[in-house]
Amino acid sequence: MKKHKKARQPEVAFYNNPENRAIIYQVLALVLIFFVTYFVLNNMFINIEKRGINTGFDFLSSEAGFGILQSLIAYDESDSHGKVFIVGLLNTILVSVIGIIFATIIGLLVGIGRLSKNFMVAKLSMIYVETFRNIPILLQILFWYNVVLAALPSPRQSISFFDSIFFNNRGLYIPKPILESGFTAVIIAFILAIVAVIFLTKWANKRHDETGEEFPTFWVSLGILISAPILIFFVSGTPATLEFAELKGFNFRGGWTLIPELLALAFALSIYTATYIAEAVRAGIEAVPKGQKEAAHALGLKDHIILKKVVLPQALRVIIPPVINQYLNLVKNSSLATAIGYPELVTIFSGTSLNQVGQAIEIILMTMAVYLTLSIVISMLMNYLNAKMQIKER
Amino acid sequence: MAIYEKLEAKPAPLGTKGPINWMKENLFSSIVSTILTIISFYLLYITIPPLLDWMIFDATWSGTKEEITKDGARWIFIFEKFNQFIYGFYPEELYWRPNLALAIFTLYIFLFKYFNNTKIRVFIVTSLPIITYILVAGGFGLEHVETDKWGGLLLTVIVASVGIVASFPIGILFALGRQSNMPIIKTISVMYIEFIRGVPLITLLFMSSVILPLFFPENMDFDKLLRALIGITLFQAAYIAEVVRGGLQAIPKGQYEAADSMALSYWQTMGLIILPQALKISIPNIVGSFISLFKDTTLILIIGLFDILAMVTLTNSDTQWLGFETEGYVFVTMIYWVICFSMSKYAKAVEDRFNTDHK
């Protein structure tokens, strides 16, 4: 066969060649970015000098001089702005974790509720989702804080549960466990219980693969996890006591206090995020082909077994990515705390600290870096889970 | 050959229709279901009657503040402050200007649907923002109204619309950049999108309100509202970019190849073939993104702008009208709810119209 001579490309102008053009565009983009950056930085340095703004991160070690309503670690006014940062970060994480736990529980229940055969449950779930999803989260936070919590009774008339939990307009008071030295044994028992559960699960899975027999792994694990520490707790002579909150004068003393700001924020975040999680759960379950359920029915499986063994494992693959995105949104939305003064990162660091030292650039960049890091960690987790949940094809 | 015996036809089963049977199937099909039904009715019983009492039956609808005797909602507060909720501090004698802008907007929507002509449509789309701006802000013989006078629902709608309109082209550019095979352009786009999506909107608003002025020469004076608009536009563009990317990824490769074989240039390919299809696919998600933005505009109150939500606190500081937050919040909630709910129903309708799945 005769070898074809490569046809000569028609001559095009240098700048019309797609490859050259790509290079030109990119160089232009780089030059543009370079000039914008130069312009911005140059102006910034001039402005900083003119206005006499301090720069650098020295302020992190200087004294903050203001109190914080609630802190997970010991903090007082003489501590540094660096410590304020840590306190704020921990409070952000605290409210996020509480919010994520409750949003997941509510979202799961409502999402399954929307698909319930019970007419009332399905409609109520729908009303819940449509109501709370269409109201701005900031409005909800302000509403719970300024209207509902403010309408609660004063400490003297607090609502009490079993005389140990008190609820009033200053917050929620719950008993605080005081741990004694012997409590280490209980913690060790708990860790051993976790190890036992891991081995049990492995054994049960192996047995299931070999003989097909079911083992009630979940309930037995739960039993072990609860009973082992409790047993050791009593055997070692109850090495912990509860400190109850008591009404002294005008307010409660002792116990753990959940301040109203935390309650309002956690409540609003869970209620709002749960609507999105519910929708994700519903979409995930609906994405499982009907034939799967019908086939399982035809095999005579019970409804709850079908849900557990056929529907959920397939639905989770669809559910998990959007749900994790919602967790991320919840963490970011916790920054709205600044509207009601819950002392998290944005409120005390980008708010109070910034007002005191005036170093906006450093402080806002640090705050952004925190959220970016959290986002990256969460999305790495998502990719890991996604990879694990993928259908394993040969 | 087998012999078949004819069976007598059985009567139709009783009670497969009618309200009793419906209740049996949908409310009391099992013990669990019955318990759930009872709980649901109880929940309705403890929430709906008091709510109706408060909102309607015990509410005060007219009269003056001194005449309030019932303990229900005092809607007279809303009527009293209605103008402030809608227009903020916009001069009362100039209310006709935003109203006219709204009327023109409505008219344009009809014209847009009626004239299927690209030139007219482009004219409509480009002239609307200019007309609206002149009407609301002043100029060309109209009295100038400072932006710090804008407030209430007017401000909310302005911020949301500017955010939507301005972010759209930027978002599309970044979406194209992210799909591009030029490594530097792609990296820039990815970094922008991931950075903006990784931080809360409020930190971006802080950045544009506190840091942005430092980036420009001192004589360049930035309006407070303009700074907020820049922050919101940057934020929304990243989200639009991701939504459009979803649409771009759904376009089959054959479409690009067909465009290439017709020797269309990159911009011709994108503008005439790819983007129209990608945007059409993304419409439901774009509407979803608009709804989020509309809700997020409430955040501007944190940097000191007076949108409709901020009006609740502000109208409340009037010593004549103390302690009317609840009515204020409920009123604002209803406004947001109605707007967001209608938009999401619209998105659902569009999604259904384009849905080609066989369910």
Count H helices, E strands: chain A?
12, 8
The per-residue pLDDT for B358 is 52
Of the pLDDT bands very low, low, confident and very high (cuts 50, 70, 90), residue B89 is confident
As a whole number, the mean pLDDT across chain B is 86
Span of A81-90, A157-166, B311-320 with lowest mean pLDDT: A157-166
A36 touches chain B (CB under 8 A): no
Cite the DSSP H helix spans in chain B: 18-26, 31-52, 76-87, 96-114, 118-137, 152-179, 183-198, 201-206, 224-249, 253-261, 266-268, 275-296, 308-316, 325-354
First to last CA, chain B: 45
A355 touches chain B (CB under 8 A): no
Element (H, E) at A283: helix A260-286
A371 touches chain B (CB under 8 A): yes
Cβ-based neighbour number of residue A380 at 10 Å: 10
Cβ-based neighbour number of residue B162 at 10 Å: 21
Nearest by CB to B215, from A40, A137, A338: name it: A40
Q: Provide the chain B residues 19-58 that lie in CB contact (below 8 A) with chain A.
A: 25-27, 29, 33, 36-37, 40-41, 43-44
Q: What secondary structure letter does DSSP report for A77? A: T
Nearest by CB to A120, from B36, B203, B214: name it: B36
The CA distance from B304 to the nearest CA of chain A, in Å, is 11
**For A59, what's the count of Cα atoms within 13 Å in the CB-facing half-sphere?**
22
Q: pLDDT tens, B173-208?
A: 999 999 888 889 999 999 999 999 999 999 999 999
Only one residue has tokens 């002025």, namely B213
State the average pLDDT over residues A130-140. 94
Q: Which of A22-31, A350-359, A364-373 has the highest mean pLDDT?
A: A364-373
Which residues fall within 8 angstroms of residue B345, CB to CB, at 6 or more apart? none
B334 touches chain A (CB under 8 A): no
B211 touches chain A (CB under 8 A): yes
Note whether A118 contacts B29, CB cutoff 8 Å: yes
Task: Measure the CA dihedral A295/A301/A303/A305, to 10°.
Answer: -110
The per-residue pLDDT for A228 is 82
Q: Which of B109-113, B155-159, B319-323 has the highest mean pLDDT?
A: B155-159
Note whether A136 contacts B36, CB cutoff 8 Å: no
Calpha distance B176→B172 (Å, rounded): 6
B299 touches chain A (CB under 8 A): yes
Q: pLDDT tens, B12-51?
A: 776 677 788 888 888 888 888 888 899 999 999 998 888 8
Residues of A in contact with B211 (CB under 8 A): 360-361, 364
Burial class (CB in 10 A: 0-12, 13-18, 19+), B137: middle
What ipTM was predicted for this assembly? 0.87
The per-residue pLDDT for B159 is 92
Report yes or no: A186 and A179 within 8 Å, Cβ to Cβ: no
Note whether A135 contacts B333, CB cutoff 8 Å: yes
Nearest by CB to B203, from A120, A131, A364: name it: A364
CA distances, A263 to each of A95, A260, A341, B25, B258 (Å): 9, 5, 12, 40, 58
Counting every residue written for chain B, the total comes to 359
CA torsion through residues B75, B77, B81, B85, sign:
negative
Q: pLDDT tens, B216-234?
A: 887 777 888 999 999 999 9
% of chain B exceeding 90 in pLDDT: 28
The per-residue pLDDT for A3 is 54
State the average pLDDT over residues B77-81. 84
Nearest by CB to B184, from A29, A335, A376: name it: A29
B214 touches chain A (CB under 8 A): yes
Has residue B82 got a pLDDT over 90? no
The per-residue pLDDT for A7 is 60
The per-residue pLDDT for B359 is 47
Note whether B295 contacts A33, CB cutoff 8 Å: no
Span of A36-40, A61-65, B250-254 with lowest mean pLDDT: A61-65
Six-digit token string for B329: 């919040």
Only one residue has tokens 């036809």, namely B9
Of A34, A49, A135, A137, which to mutate for an interface test with B (greatest number of B Cβ within 10 Å)?
Answer: A135
Q: What secondary structure letter does DSSP report for A257? A: E
Q: Provide the chain A residues 76-135 that lie in CB contact (below 8 A) with chain B.
A: 116-121, 124, 130-131, 133-135
Q: What secondary structure letter does DSSP report for B88? A: B
Question: Nearest chain B Cα to A31, which residue?
Answer: B184
What angle do the packed helices B308-316 and B325-354 form, to 10 degrees? 170
Note whether B217 contacts A46, CB cutoff 8 Å: yes
Report yes or no: A252 and A171 within 8 Å, Cβ to Cβ: no
Residues of B in contact with A43 (CB under 8 A): 214-217
Calpha distance A381→A378 (Å, rounded): 5
The CA distance from B28 to the nearest CA of chain A, in Å, is 8
Of A269, A335, A383, which to mutate for an interface test with B (greatest number of B Cβ within 10 Å)?
Answer: A335
The per-residue pLDDT for A393 is 61
CA distances, B112 to each of B106, B123, B255, B353 (Å): 10, 10, 29, 20
Task: Indicate the pTM of the whole model.
Answer: 0.86
Report yes or no: B229 and B222 within 8 Å, Cβ to Cβ: no
Calpha distance B292→B285 (Å, rounded): 11
The per-residue pLDDT for B235 is 94
State the average pLDDT over residues A173-193. 80
Calpha distance A112→A65 (Å, rounded): 50
Provide DSSP, A155-170: GGG-EEETTTEEEETT
